[in-house]
Structure 1
Amino acid sequence: MSRPKPATFDKKKIVAENRRARFDYSIDQTFEAGIALTGTEVKSLRFGEGSIAESYAEVSPDGGVWLINSNIPEFSHGNRFNHEPKRPRKLLMHEREINKLHGAVAREGMTLVPLMIYFNSQGRAKLELALAKGRKAHDKREHIKERDWKKEAGRIMRERG
């Protein structure tokens, strides 16, 4: 019997966050994935460098999930063994999760959007990956109205409460 997943992942140090993703996409489900990194990539991330703003993930036909177009700059003290900044990086997930993602992307037209890179309590670099559907312009306007109304309602309740 499998262990139930925690509602939120254990995030100790957030390195890179894709804040725009929550506005541009309607998030359906989130997954935690490990990232296969080289030594100099880990060192760059520990210094807080890295960006996933324009990156995405895809499920390859051989059954792996890859993070594409993420930028982890070269380590400043690295030598000839330094890494390539925008190389595709393999995501480490359970086969059951990979199959679920593959089915959703293929059948339902959903997208795999990276939300953030962080280090967990054991010091391992993890990626929060979301299964999401893109929002149209009118959906974005509706989202803005709803968010503003919630802020206003909270303000009113504080004043009267």
Structure 2
Amino acid sequence: MAARPNDPLLAAGKIVTTLVSALLLLVAVVLVLTIPAFLFSYKHVAEALDGNAANLPLVLATITGLLTLGAAVMAAAFMFFRYLGKIIDTVGQGDPFVDENADRLEKMGWIAAVFQVAAIPMMMAVAYLQTQFPEQEIQLDIELSATGVLLAIVLFILARVFRQGSAMREELEGTV
């Protein structure tokens, strides 16, 4: 199959995946660097608790856990877009039905599934923090999503399609 070197959709897809990957990596690094800074400045959190200092260790642990999980989710999202970028590369080269792409799609499916699982403790942490800081508006734009579950299922199915396409191509090449 011939490559389409001037395909504007592939070029745009590659640019977008590269930019999103870089942004996600930056956010992950910032979140990781925020953890020690937050722990060294915990006195601000203690003051904000307004006399509920007994809850301070759990609040600190909750915020630290939320930052850590957020960094892990951003790192996983970074890998998701890196895999997507590599798939785009193989499409541009004219040979997308390879086992490596099936593996990439399967990994992307697992990442999409992990996003859904990670949403549960993150939502619980935010709900707890809202009880500790009722006068503050604490929001986290993450939720369990039927679309996210559907994405994971579609990626797993596409992985099988790509694996089957790769096997069929190898079989065809062996008979010619």
Bucket of the pairwise TM-score, normalised by the shorter protein = under 0.3
Report which of the two structures shows the higher radius of gyration computed on alpha carbons: 2
Q: Comparing both structures, which one devotes a greater share of its residues to helix?
A: 2
Structure with the bigger RCO (C-alpha within 8 Å, sep 6+) is 1
**TM-score of the aligned structures, taking structure 2 as reference length:** 0.23
Q: Comparing both structures, which one devotes a greater share of its residues to strand?
A: 1
